Structure 1
């Protein structure tokens, strides 16, 4: 069962406007009444169009997100079809919990009439083709009046559906050949519309059900992973700091004892830390000495192989974009970000441990997620949130050129990234749970 308009269009709640439009076009190609003569297609198309009208309008989408699906539908919409009319037969028969698309049968009828009225021109042209072929077996005549919707018991219901879709004709079709003629002309009309007949429509429906019917894919598309990714990058980085602390445990314990001996004297502590490194290795030396797994290659070849893994992942995403997207150079999606982050996280961990991985992942994820959030209606976080998590990269550069000291390391690797980097995920968490 469909839970909300995002699930209906099979997109995540943080989808961009381009992604919403692309999802709507994909659904229309399957469910438009001119392309699909299934009884459920009319209702599905009405619901899909309503979902797009709401989510495609930034102002309405913001109101929808603020009110929630159930309250928004109760206050601002009417005439949506019941999902029982068009739900897929994928075994997903769980009961509704009050948040799903669940509307009355009377609303279904009014929605079908409204949609039929808006598409009279297209449907009437298709109906004309059907009636010209079916005249031999049908007695109903198109008089321009409202359909009575009556049909003899011997019909299969095709003539009745045709009359309902066009809003014309008396619908008094008779004869056992009427249903066959109607189906024949329907298939011919679909071919004339460029659908390639029922076999292509079945292919479209099958391709959709292959993903939409998969509960794992449906669950994944409904997830908003931006906030978890921010916390994950910070967790990896903190794990890297812990790794560094464990490798230098005795040296840090001695240094801490010296600092405590000075008491609350900031100038004395600063002078102590600036005097020397007190036996602590630099972060660059530490990263170079990390060996998560034994390298099977010479160091240069090993680094090249890790870079090749990242390049291969990026190349695969580019090929996928070119093949599947109308605009290959559109904004980066969260799914693509996850793929790149996974490749970078694994390779940098193998090369330099979690400290290097966290220092690389934080700027990537913070930057992409800030950009992604700013494209959506509602909160537009500043790019200044990305600045603190760039500090470790600056610290590595300083250590490489022998410009690092203990105060610089503490600022670049501890205080700035931890306290400054917490600002964005904490702010996002507060907004998510308290709406502030």
Structure 2
């Protein structure tokens, strides 16, 4: 059962405009009337086109995200079909393929005078018109753009299964030029279309993956890794921390006395750089130089694979980093830095990377535009390591750069995003 237009295109709500376009192309390869003459497929194609007209337009997408699916459909379209039409012809509520729907007329006509049968007839007439045009011109591309533009201009609809929560609906206010633009992207040879259709329909894991929103989990994951690193440090320096805590309690609530106590010495605690250098998650079988070179090679290999993938599959080779690419880079960096210096070093590297990429990714989408200031607190551990290498580290500096600032400030973005996700504010 389709919940909304994102689910219909099988993408996550944080998908970029390029990802929306690619998802639309994949759906077209499956449901376009040129490759699938089933009535249900034609209804599903019209629904997919409707979803793309909305999500492919940043302004409309922002309104859709702000209003939510049901309110947007009620205010921006000419009515939802009856829930009965979302069921399959044989009455099987478990059917998940696109089902035939009633169509509603374009907003240029009176929707109150339009019946479901006239809408379906209009779509069928448009289909025959596009076929005639293709026969006269001998151009498959022309048939695709003309026929689809006629059908979308005269009728819109949605197709999915289940008894409730219909996820797509009728008519949008997109112009004929936008319709031609969207359908023109799918002009491919029949052989290519059939091959891509088989790939799209036969890979449910890929479809599931595209529907997931990994941005928020990645933020929390980087924080958890860093907290695990702090716990690792605490366990390694347990006796010194207990002694320091006893001294702090003996000092009482006097801020000046506590500051003097912390500034006087390190109280037996290791420096962060010394701790990271002493971590040995696994015993390397290579010499140190070769070991570090091998770990660097893992990261370089991951970057090379992503670059080759961009060159082969992406039109904009040097475009923005996607969430999928971010996950690959984070896995490579997280694994190698953990082997080098444990979770403390891994968290200190992953937090700025993931926070920075996700903030930039979110700012490119309609809706919320988080500030880059959210990234500043999670840069504090890197500053702490620099201070330790320069010999300027002290216990108060370590406490601020490795504990207070990254934990308190780093929670701001994921907590804010979680509130927006669940409460919408």
TM-score, normalisation: structure 2: 0.77
Task: Tell me, in whole angstroms, the C-alpha distance in 2 between the residues paired with 1:416 and 1:13.
Answer: 30
Task: Tell me, in whole angstroms, the C-alpha distance in 2 between the residues paired with 1:379 and 1:103.
Answer: 36
Which residue of structure 1 lines up, in the alignment, with residue 94 of structure 2? 94
Which residue of structure 1 lines up, in the alignment, with residue 277 of structure 2? 288
Measure how far apart 1:30 and its partner are. 4.4
Measure how far apart 1:204 and its partner are. 2.9
Aligned residues of 2:41 and 2:98 also touching (Cα < 8 A): no
Measure how far apart 1:194 and its partner are. 8.2
Number of aligned positions between the proteins:
365
Task: Tell me, in whole angstroms, the C-alpha distance in 2 between the residues paired with 1:112 and 1:330.
Answer: 41
Which residue of structure 2 lines up, in the alignment, with residue 19 of structure 1? 19
Which residue of structure 2 lines up, in the alignment, with residue 124 of structure 1? 132
Out of 194, 206, 223, the position equivalent to 2:198 is 206
Single out whichever of 15-24 and 298-307 deviates more from structure 2.
15-24
Task: Tell me, in whole angstroms, the C-alpha distance in 1 between the residues paired with 2:187 and 2:103.
Answer: 34
| Change over 3 Å in CA distance of 1:278–1:196 after alignment to 2 | closer
Measure how far apart 1:265 and its partner are. 1.5
| Per-residue deviation, residues 34-85 of structure 1 (Å, max 9, x unmatched) | 4554444422321111001111222322332344334433443348896667
Which residue of structure 2 lines up, in the alignment, with residue 253 of structure 1? 242
Which residue of structure 2 lines up, in the alignment, with residue 326 of structure 1? 315
Which residue of structure 1 lines up, in the alignment, with residue 252 of structure 2? 263
Task: Tell me, in whole angstroms, the C-alpha distance in 1 between the residues paired with 2:188 and 2:423.
Answer: 49
Measure how far apart 1:122 and its partner are. 4.4
| Change over 3 Å in CA distance of 1:389–1:111 after alignment to 2 | farther
Aligned residues of 2:9 and 2:24 also touching (Cα < 8 A): yes
| Change over 3 Å in CA distance of 1:53–1:279 after alignment to 2 | same
| Change over 3 Å in CA distance of 1:109–1:233 after alignment to 2 | farther
Q: Which runs of 5+ in 2 are unaligned?
A: 105-115, 139-149, 152-185
Which residue of structure 1 lines up, in the alignment, with residue 7 of structure 2? 7
Measure how far apart 1:3 and its partner are. 3.4
Q: Which has the higher contact order (CA 8 A, sep 6+)?
A: 2
Q: Which runs of 5+ in 1 are unaligned?
A: 87-91, 131-163, 166-192
Which residue of structure 1 lines up, in the alignment, with residue 161 of structure 2? none
Aligned residues of 2:9 and 2:27 also touching (Cα < 8 A): yes
Q: Which has the larger radius of gyration?
A: 1
| Per-residue deviation, residues 290-325 of structure 1 (Å, max 9, x unmatched) | 111111111221111111111111111111111111
Single out whichever of 59-68 and 223-232 deviates more from structure 2.
59-68
Measure how far apart 1:103 and its partner are. 7.6
Single out whichever of 259-268 and 416-425 deviates more from structure 2.
259-268
| Change over 3 Å in CA distance of 1:103–1:32 after alignment to 2 | closer
Out of 211, 230, 235, the position equivalent to 1:241 is 230
Residues 41-80 of structure 1 mapped to structure 2, 5 A cutoff: 41-78=41-78
Out of 329, 350, 353, the position equivalent to 1:361 is 350
Residues 220-235 of structure 1 mapped to structure 2, 5 A cutoff: 220-235=209-224
Task: Tell me, in whole angstroms, the C-alpha distance in 2 between the residues paired with 1:95 and 1:29.
Answer: 21
